Amino acid sequence: MRISKLSLVVLALVIGASTVQAQTNNASITATAAVQTPINVVGAQQLNFGNVFPGVNKTVAATDLTNAGRFDVTGQASTPVTLTFTLPATLSSGANTMPIDTYTGISAATSAQTGGVAFNPVTGANPSLSGAGALFVWIGARVTPATNQAQGTYTANVTMTVVY
């Protein structure tokens, strides 16, 4: 059988065209992350000055487990956190105000304040959560009622912010 020269060329081109393809290859890797436990903060106890008399300053120490203000923090175990505070300058009773100052703070891994570390709430602190992911923070302060301080119940908010 004679094969025409044109047929040979066409055959070659057809075979060639049918096999032309781009060479590709691929591989994969894995992206990984471990999201830690979110921070939870609870105002556990009020900073309670109790009865205050005009002209008589009264201090509640941060070591006063009964009357100091307390925040309870939970989060990722053994992780450092940053504490910052919004500290009022006065307590209010209607239109009347009473100064509050000299804030003090203590942070500890237990509610018994065992091994507590003092800090200045004005500048904040950088403690670490315990191995159980807990942190307790106490706040003390001083009120300075005027000699003509009006009778009444005075209050203000102390805010603590916690971030990793």
- Residue 36's region, left for phi above 0, alpha for psi from -120 to 50, else beta, is beta
Are 61 and 70 contacting, i.e. CB atoms less than 8 angstroms apart? no
Write out the binding residues for another protein, residues 53-82 only, by CB under 8 A: 76, 79
DSSP string, 36-77: PPPPEEEEEE-----S--TT--EEE-TT-TTTSEEEEEE-ST
Give the nearer residue to another protein in terms of CB position, either 53 or 164: 164
- Binding to another protein by CB under 8 A, coded x per residue (else -) over 79-118, reads x---------------------------------------
Give the nearer residue to another protein in terms of CB position, either 106 or 162: 162
Considering the complex, what minimum distance in angstroms separates the CB of residue 22 from another protein?
A: 5
Give the nearer residue to another protein in terms of CB position, either 8 or 112: 8
Residue 19 contacts another protein per CB under 8 A: yes
Residue 131 contacts another protein per CB under 8 A: no
What residue ranges bind another protein (CB under 8 A)? 2-3, 5-6, 8-9, 11-13, 15-17, 19-39, 76, 79, 163-164
